[in-house]
Amino acid sequence: SQTIHQWPATLVQPVGSPLSLECTVEGTSNPNLYWYRQAAGRGLQLLFYSVGIGQISSEVPQNLSASRPQDRQFILSSKKLLLSDSGFYLCAWSRESYEQYFGPGTRLTVT
């Protein structure tokens, strides 16, 4: 069966520091991968998605970037965090255009 991992589970970082969140998927190959940010009362906002290694599409211009160095690895990064980057970040995968499956998420607090 397929599983999706995210780490770290929680992270507290000062403003201006770099960020790297990692997501890996097991048990499938060539998945579509997604990064979302979840804000209270606002649902999930799609940040990035990828249909293959090195292929990244950005949905929202912002202080973040994403990379897919390996087939089942998806990384969310920032060079300099802002206070507004605080939130709950979710990674998801899907098989082509079918339903998406979500990871446990990372709670990021920027201080």
Which residues of the shown chain bind other proteins in the complex (CB under 8 A)? Answer: 32, 41-46, 49, 51, 59, 90, 94, 96-97, 99-105
Give just the sign of the alpha carbon dihedral 100, 49, 65, 2.
positive
Minimum Å gap between C-beta 18 and other proteins is 27
Minimum Å gap between C-beta 48 and other proteins is 11
Neighbours of 89 (CB within 10 A): 22
- Closer of 83 and 96 to other proteins (Cβ): 96
Minimum Å gap between C-beta 45 and other proteins is 8
- Closer of 13 and 101 to other proteins (Cβ): 101
Task: Give the β-pairing of 73-78 and 87-94.
Answer: unpaired
- Closer of 29 and 99 to other proteins (Cβ): 99
Q: What is the CA radius of gyration of the chain?
A: 13
Assign 3-state DSSP to the chain and report helix, strand, coil percentages, each to 5.
5, 60, 40
